[in-house]
Amino acid sequence: MKILSIVVPSYNAEKYLDRSIPSLVVGGEDVEVIIVNDGSKDSTLEIARKYEKEFPNIVKVVDKENGGHGSGINAALEIATGLYFKCCDADDWFAKDAYLEFLDLIKKHLKEGKSPDLYLTDFVYNRLDTGKTHVHDCTTTYPTNRFMTWEDLKSPNNKDFFMMHMFTYKTEILRRSKLHLPEHTFYVDNLYVYQPLYYVKTMYYLPVGLYQYYVGHADQSISYENMAKNYQHALRVYEKVMTIYSYDDLKKLSKAHKRYMYFSIVVIEALTLFYSVIGKKKGSKKEYRQLNKKIKSVNKALYNKANFRTRFILSHLVIPGLKDIAVRIGYKIVKKKTGWY
C-alpha cells in the first residue's frame, strides 16, 4: 500500500523538476509521485517521462490539456492510491531528513492502528535570490508530536493561519469533501485548505520544516505584480469559499472546530480585500463590494457572521482611504518579517 500520494502540478516547469522530483522519490516505494503535465510548451513532459521510466514503481505521469494549477490537483486526486495526499509545486521541494522522518512517523502510527485525518508540518520560505529563509511554524498554538482534536488547540492568532504547504490530508477526507478545484484560477490553495477542513476530526502536528517553498521568481502567482494583475482569481476563490457551506452547516460543528473554520474564512476574506486594493484594473474595489453583496444575498447568515462577529469587523470600521493605506502597510510588515514578496 502506498502511504502517501504527492501531486506535482507542472506547467513549463523544465527549470525546476530536476530539483523537486529527486527530493520526492527518496521516499521510496511507500510513496507515489504524480507529475501532472498541464499542457506545457517546454520539455516538462519529457523530463517527467524520464523520471517515470527511472522510477516506475514510484512516479506516474499524467499528460493533459492546460487547465491551471487546480486542474492538476484534480487529475491527481482521481488516480491517487495513497492513504494520504500532499501537494508539491514544481518549483518547490521537500527537505530530505524531515521527509523521511515524516514517512517513518506515518508508518509508526499505522502499525499502532492510528491514522489522523490531517497531518500538519512546517514549511520554509526560501528566497533563492537573497539567500534568506523563514520558517513558518505553529508551535505556539498547536500541540506538538501528539494526536489532537479541535478542542486541544488554542485560539488561532494571525500568524497561525492554515496554508496548503502545511497540510497532508487523508485522501478519503479530500474525496468525502467532494473537492474539485476551479480551473484556470490562481489561489485555489485557499479552497484546498478550507473545503476538506469541515470533515477533519483528528490531527497530528510534527514540527519539522518539510516543505521548502521557493520564493523570488517573477512569474510566481504571489509576486506583487501578479497579485495585482490576478485579483479577479482571488474573488472567484472567495466566492466559492463563502458558498460551499452555510451558517447552519457550520453550526453543526463543535465550538472549537467552528472557530477555526471562521478564522480560515476571515483570513481568506482579508487576502481578497488586499488583492482588490492592489488590483490593477480600474474598479477592482467595486468588484469586491459587488461580490460581497452577491454573497450576502445567497448566504446572509454566514456573511454576517464572518464580517460582523469576527475580528474582520475592524475592516468595516475604517474609512475607505485609510483602509487602503492600512492594507498596504500590513503587506509591507508581513513582507519584511518573512522575506516574502
Over the chain (341 residues), the average pLDDT of each successive run of 10 is 97 97 98 98 98 98 97 98 98 97 98 97 84 83 94 82 94 98 95 98 97 74 67 92 96 95 90 78 82 93 84 57 62 58 52
Where b means 16+ CB within 10 Å and e means fewer, 276-294 reads bbbbeeeebbeebeebbee
Helix (H) or strand (E) holding 203: strand 203-215
Q: Which domain holds residue 284?
A: 224-338
| Domain shared by 27 and 163, yes or no | yes
Question: CB atoms < 10 A from the CB of 208, how many?
Answer: 19
User: How confident is the model at residue 274, as a pLDDT?
Assistant: 82
Tell me which of 185, 215, 245 is where a domain ends: 215
User: How confident is the model at residue 100, as a pLDDT?
Assistant: 98
202 vs 165: CA distance, rounded Å: 18
82 vs 103: CA distance, rounded Å: 12
DSSP state of 114: -
Cell of 42: 517546454
The model carries a pTM of 0.91
| Domain shared by 193 and 45, yes or no | yes
Cell of 269: 476574506
Tell me which of 158, 191, 215 is where a domain ends: 215
3-state secondary structure of 241: helix
CB of 288 closer than 8 Å to CB of 258: no
3-state secondary structure of 196: helix
Tell me which of 153, 183, 215 is where a domain ends: 215
Cell of 161: 493561519
User: How confident is the model at residue 338, as a pLDDT?
Assistant: 52
- Residue whose entry in the numeric block shows the C-alpha cell 479541535: 150
86 vs 192: CA distance, rounded Å: 11
User: How confident is the model at residue 131, as a pLDDT?
Assistant: 76
User: How confident is the model at residue 230, as a pLDDT?
Assistant: 84
Cell of 278: 492592489
Helix (H) or strand (E) holding 323: helix 320-338
3-state secondary structure of 164: helix
| Domain shared by 268 and 201, yes or no | no
Length, in residues, of the chain? 341
192 vs 214: CA distance, rounded Å: 20
- Dihedral of CA atoms 138, 89, 100, 216 in degrees, nearest 10, equals -60
Number of domains in the chain: 2
| Domain shared by 98 and 200, yes or no | yes
120 vs 139: CA distance, rounded Å: 11
| Domain shared by 11 and 36, yes or no | yes
Whichever domain contains 148, its CATH number is: 3.90.550.10
Instruction: List Cα–Cα distances, 151 to 58, 173, 255, 267, 282, in angstroms.
Output: 37, 20, 8, 21, 45
User: How confident is the model at residue 80, as a pLDDT?
Assistant: 98
- The three-point CA angle 281-67-52 to 5° equals 140
User: How confident is the model at residue 63, as a pLDDT?
Assistant: 98
| Domain shared by 8 and 151, yes or no | yes
24 vs 29: CA distance, rounded Å: 11
| Domain shared by 229 and 138, yes or no | no
DSSP state of 129: T
291 vs 313: CA distance, rounded Å: 17
Phi then psi dihedrals of residue 299, to 5 deg: -145, 60
CB of 3 closer than 8 Å to CB of 102: no
| Domain shared by 136 and 26, yes or no | yes
| Domain shared by 12 and 115, yes or no | yes
Per DSSP, helices labelled H in 43-95 are 44-54, 69-79
Beta bridge partners of 119: 168, 204
| Domain shared by 273 and 155, yes or no | no
| Domain shared by 88 and 105, yes or no | yes
- Residue whose entry in the numeric block shows the C-alpha cell 523544465: 14
| Domain shared by 61 and 137, yes or no | yes
